[in-house]
Structure 1
């Protein structure tokens, strides 16, 4: 009788753990979808500096995995409560597939992260050359946004503006207002007052930002892949 109670207690404990892990899956699904959406939104702000749209593949997969985790959590809960071995087997198989997908996301993340610097180096000069200072120009909006957000000016520093078409045509010995430091209200972008301008170039900061975005994807995938390993071990 005592052995039977212990067995029942063990089954109850396992079911409780599985239900808890399924709840974690639902939370994980929300986080994965959030991370994927964040990558899309951020990429939209920097897409002129990084033309390879395939970089978004890991983000797409992350969102798809997040959506699938909602379904997996539901299957897992139902199978656990009903003690359905067929349901649990399906649950584990799907988890294995999702785990392999997340491993693929990590690999792709590292591949595209390594390509970021070359992509930015290749495109940033062209973007700056197409700057015309008007809000209707996509390149101008992108550069002004980046310079304000990252607090940078030019490609390597503010002097890079002197070799752009915009500078040659404007002939006012100044850089865009977006190069002005936020605490200098009287800044006009004039090169006669370089102390009012951001000193750091944008290229390195854009590369850093894009690499950080890819690391968000990589670490998110790694974290939830680890959780899934624990879940699979508990389910078997």
Structure 2
């Protein structure tokens, strides 16, 4: 006996719990039997390949079931992909924000340091200009380097320090990698040059002493000559302040005057023409050794000054390289 159409529609229209095919329609022996008996029942019943009067189901899943099977997993994959992409974007945004925050902090420190560096250069330049204006006649004691005066040294040093500080300030404000790298390389070369000169000075002390004494004795012959007012005033100030006479002895002046005579600045009590008196009225201490002993007594202060200068330069190098690396990172993360 055949089932009625009402029973058949009941089996076809009963929904599954999740809107999908029943478990026996997806696989197992029931599906295989339904497909076999469905084809046989379709031949017997002549209903055009229906699922069979006994099972009342199609052999293949319908379009809604297929859509439920394949569309839902793809949607889940897309959701997971979007979540991963959003998480990665948030991480990169956080890293970018941290990089910009570090960059701003280093930028402030770099600018403050170079501003102080630049102001220090202005001070050194101002002192050099003041010396050149008020004591322009004070020059070097060396005949080989007549332009190597204290005023000229301060002017050159101050100008150089100002230029380096200006490059560092502009590089920090503009976050310019080229200017930062220029500042770093220039300051590094200066530090290496200072270290080389200091090492050579301590390694070749005897040779430097002989050369300096020979050059200073040669400069004595320019004392009091036209066009050498600076050297004359320099020797007068040195001999008066340090209470010394000559380079290695007061007899160094005998070769200059070709007589038993010294400048008036060598006298114990200054008076016009006192250098023509007896040697008992002159200072006996050699100026070279006296100045050298004064430097040795103040070697600690000189060493502290040199160490502070080196530390300031190393600090500038650290700020410059840190700023450069932060700019590179910020460009990489936030490009």
- Both structures adopt the same fold (TM-score exceeding 0.5): yes
Q: Distance in 2 between matches of 1:210 and 1:53?
A: 22
Q: Residue 82 of structure 1 corresponds to which residue in structure 2?
A: none
Q: Distance in 1 between matches of 2:228 and 2:280?
A: 27
Q: How far apart are residue 167 of structure 1 and its match?
A: 5.8
Flag the structure with larger Rg.
2
What is the root-mean-square deviation of aligned Cα atoms in Å? Answer: 4.8
Q: Which has the higher contact order (CA 8 A, sep 6+)?
A: 1
Q: Distance in 2 between matches of 1:11 and 1:176?
A: 68
Q: Distance in 2 between matches of 1:68 and 1:106?
A: 16
Q: Distance in 1 between matches of 2:304 and 2:162?
A: 15
Which residues of structure 1 form unaligned runs of 5+? 80-86
Q: Residue 166 of structure 2 corresponds to which residue in structure 1?
A: 70
Q: Distance in 2 between matches of 1:119 and 1:222?
A: 28
Q: Distance in 2 between matches of 1:104 and 1:158?
A: 40
Q: Residue 116 of structure 2 corresponds to which residue in structure 1?
A: 27
Q: Residue 235 of structure 2 corresponds to which residue in structure 1?
A: 143
Q: Residue 18 of structure 1 corresponds to which residue in structure 2?
A: 107
Q: Residue 229 of structure 1 corresponds to which residue in structure 2?
A: 317
Alpha carbons of 1:62 and 1:108: their partners in 2 closer, same or farther (altered >3 Å)? Answer: farther
Q: Residue 177 of structure 1 corresponds to which residue in structure 2?
A: 264
Post-superposition Cα deviations, 1:108-161, rounded to whole Å, max 9, x if no partner, equal 6337855753442222222223435x7865453342233234432112233433
Q: Distance in 2 between matches of 1:223 and 1:165?
A: 46
Secondary structure at the counterpart of residue 92 of structure 1: helix
Which residues of structure 2 form unaligned runs of 5+? 1-90, 326-335
Q: Distance in 1 between matches of 2:162 and 2:266?
A: 39
Post-superposition Cα deviations, 1:44-82, rounded to whole Å, max 9, x if no partner, equal 8453425157989x9857743531321321220232xxx
Aligned length: 215
Alpha carbons of 1:68 and 1:104: their partners in 2 closer, same or farther (altered >3 Å)? Answer: same
Alpha carbons of 1:17 and 1:145: their partners in 2 closer, same or farther (altered >3 Å)? Answer: same
- After TM superposition, the score normalised by the length of structure 2 is 0.47
Q: Residue 201 of structure 1 corresponds to which residue in structure 2?
A: 286
Alpha carbons of 1:104 and 1:6: their partners in 2 closer, same or farther (altered >3 Å)? Answer: closer
Q: Distance in 2 between matches of 1:192 and 1:61?
A: 42
Judge conservation of contact 1:131–1:166 (CA < 8 Å) in 2.
no
Q: Residue 92 of structure 1 corresponds to which residue in structure 2?
A: 180
Judge conservation of contact 2:117–2:161 (CA < 8 Å) in 1.
no
Give the stretch that moved more between structures: 101-110 or 203-212: 203-212
Judge conservation of contact 1:150–1:202 (CA < 8 Å) in 2.
yes
